[in-house]
Structure 1
Amino acid sequence: MSENPSNPTPAPDVADLALAEAEQTDRIDHGPGWFRILWSSRKARAGIVLLGLYVLLAILAPVIAPYRGDDTSFAPVLLPGGEHLMGTTTQGADIFSQLIWGTRVSLVVGLFGGLFATAVGLVIGLTSGYFEGTWIDDVLSLLTNVALVVPTLPLIITLMAYSEVRSIWFTILIIGIISWAGAARSKRALMITLRHRDFVTAAKFAGDRTPTIIAREILPQMTSLVAAGFFGAATGAIGAEAGLSFLGLGNTESVSWGTMLYQAQLQGALAQGLWVWLLVPGLALSGLIMALTLINFGIDLISNPHLREDG
């Protein structure tokens, strides 16, 4: 029985099949598009690797550090060498062990301080921008403007100086409460732009509720801005905690890079030849802040394609 020539089976388009296969292979080999853009930047790549090293140090602190950071059972003022790679403090603590254990404190402060400040700024900024022109926007904008003009560092120092609580979590709370205003201002401006887009109007006509519109339609458009705000807030939180500890306003009983600097200058480390005690926590802080800053450069490439040529 012969085939019916009037109804031929359509042959597959070879070009379309090849293109689809190439796109699938590209997705498998190179991962999400945002990560490819981020990884293509030499600055961001260096920042990711450096941050990864800090995270590994924090996770493996019990394995890498030869002693606990609060162990003061050794002879004081030992110079680098022998069983103590970086020497010991005037209290008899191993400097290298304190450096490794202090990584955890800085990463915890950066993570939770950044998340808290970003979350507060995001909620206030989105709410203010979405209800632009209403009394809600007026109240939140006034609150944001007041928070922006208040000098941040003196306020943090004053609050910490008169507080009887000196835990790391209280420090994170204070830093987060003080640091949200800049993020709220930028997110409000972007929200005002996005809320007039066609896809938001379509969602309103479809009967979607306001929280649904914000979560499904608007937030995905703000991912790079939120990420950049988080890394910026984390950088500020790490620096603020170190500064407060250096001034003696942090938890002096904990082992952090800031308390190492505080104890080093308090005990006259340089006069006793313990320059390592003063130098290494400062270098560690600088390296972590630089890693977060370099990653932020890569995030800028995601939101601004004009910067991608230089990477």
Structure 2
Amino acid sequence: MITGFLRNRRVRAGGVVLAIFVLVAITGDLLIEWYGVGPFDVDYGNLHAAPGVNGHWLGTTISGQDVLSQLISGARGSITVGLLSGVLATVLAVVIGVTSGFLGGPVDHALNGVTNVVLTLPSFAMTLIVAGYLGSAGGAAEPAIGLVVMAVLIGIFEWPSGARYLRSQTMSLRSRDFTMATRMTGESTWRLIVIEMLPHLAGIISAMFLRAVVAGIFAEASLNFLGVATQGTISWGTMIANAQAQGALTYGWWWWFIAPGLCIALIGTATALINFGLDEVTNPRLRPGDRAVIRAHARTVRRLQAAGERP
């Protein structure tokens, strides 16, 4: 499966795009140093300059700050929030969903009740309120701490739907023959979950993680757009929020908000390609070769039915 996963064209294309963004987030300081213009440096002679003017490859903001430098610096903030929130949401969904579905009984009722309660909450509104309160109460907190707090808030409200799906899949796997046979050999419950259950859920969990990462990036951008931002940090969300607040859309300064918006869209497209490739690898009906076999079989069945024969 791993070999087929790596050979899939959609997976490779999406993986390359994601790898580029992660590399930019990791090496952002070196790239900015090579570029020669910091994200907070002000060029008073080139306010809201168009791309390519006086060495500003993607133009400048209304304050004369370089858009490309802010884009590189913002990759770290957005991707950090997306990855942290995605990891937290996925871990919570796996622990609660798989445990609930496998153990059943009172444990299932309790965990499923918690999942349903969190699922019915207006997650984005709750995140907005809590993040705004922590931002006003925390004052000038460290930027890194602010990003972690935002990621935790997003991840806490993002796991219930994944937990419900994993619970249903685990309940189905629990009644399979291989699970019953392994249980009869005397294996412990947690070994059954880790060794027998999780490998069969790996495709679902990986797709869930990618979706959670993109949802975290979108949530971070939305929160910043609505004014809940961590002071002293730059992210793609803060760039879009500042562009909107300073009238970039009204005055036609498209380079200010198009660049971060395009980056968010590219990450969403990359994760979608990986998910499509993952479906093709794990689902035989979606594999190109298997699709041809299925179509040929369907044509044979129709031909036999037209001739009045039993297929």
Taking structure 1 as reference, are residues 287 and 179 closer, same or farther at Cα in structure 2, changes over 3 Å only? same
TM superposition shift of 1:92: 2.9
Preserved CA contact (<8 Å) 2:5 2:11: no
How many residues in Structure 1 have an aligned counterpart in Structure 2? 277
CA–CA distance in 2 between the matches of 1:252 and 1:35? 44
Query: Of the candidates 57, 69, 77, which is equivalent to residue 97 of structure 1?
Result: 69
Preserved CA contact (<8 Å) 2:86 2:210: yes
Query: Of the candidates 194, 207, 224, which is equivalent to residue 173 of structure 2?
Result: 194
Gaps in structure 2 of 5+ consecutive residues: 293-311
Structure 1 position 111 matched with structure 2 position 83: yes
Structure 1 position 151 matched with structure 2 position 122: yes
Query: Of the candidates 56, 65, 69, which is equivalent to residue 23 of structure 2?
Result: 56
TM superposition shift of 1:74: 2.1
CA–CA distance in 2 between the matches of 1:272 and 1:37? 46
TM superposition shift of 1:168: 0.7
Structure number, greater radius of gyration: 1
- Deviation track 1:156-206 (CA, whole Å, cap 9, x = no partner) reads 222222223471111100011000001101111111111122332233222
Q: Which amino acid in 2 is paired with 1:192?
A: M
| Equivalent residue number for residue 129 of structure 1 | 101
Preserved CA contact (<8 Å) 2:220 2:237: yes
Structure 1 position 178 matched with structure 2 position 147: no
In the superposition, the TM-score normalised over structure 2's length comes to 0.83
| Equivalent residue number for residue 20 of structure 1 | none
| Equivalent residue number for residue 43 of structure 1 | 10
CA–CA distance in 1 between the matches of 2:38 and 2:88? 28
Taking structure 1 as reference, are residues 94 and 190 closer, same or farther at Cα in structure 2, changes over 3 Å only? same
Q: Which amino acid in 1 is paired with 2:70?
A: Q
Percent of aligned pairs sharing the same letter = 38
Preserved CA contact (<8 Å) 1:252 1:259: no
CA–CA distance in 2 between the matches of 1:285 and 1:116? 20
CA–CA distance in 2 between the matches of 1:53 and 1:284? 11
Preserved CA contact (<8 Å) 2:39 2:67: no
Q: Which amino acid in 1 is paired with 2:30?
A: V
Structure 1 position 73 matched with structure 2 position 46: no
More helix by share: 2
Taking structure 1 as reference, are residues 139 and 67 closer, same or farther at Cα in structure 2, changes over 3 Å only? farther
Query: Of the candidates 267, 279, 283, which is equivalent to residue 288 of structure 1?
Result: 267
Q: Which amino acid in 2 is paired with 1:201?
A: M
| Equivalent residue number for residue 302 of structure 2 | none
In the superposition, the TM-score normalised over structure 1's length comes to 0.83
- Deviation track 1:257-298 (CA, whole Å, cap 9, x = no partner) reads 000011111111244553211211111111111111111111
Taking structure 1 as reference, are residues 303 and 149 closer, same or farther at Cα in structure 2, changes over 3 Å only? farther
Taking structure 1 as reference, are residues 90 and 267 closer, same or farther at Cα in structure 2, changes over 3 Å only? same
CA–CA distance in 2 between the matches of 1:64 and 1:70? 11
Query: Of the candidates 259, 284, 291, which is equivalent to residue 305 of structure 1?
Result: 284
Aligned CA RMSD, in angstroms, stands at 2.0
| Larger CA deviation: 257-266 vs 42-51 | 42-51
CA–CA distance in 1 between the matches of 2:278 and 2:41? 43
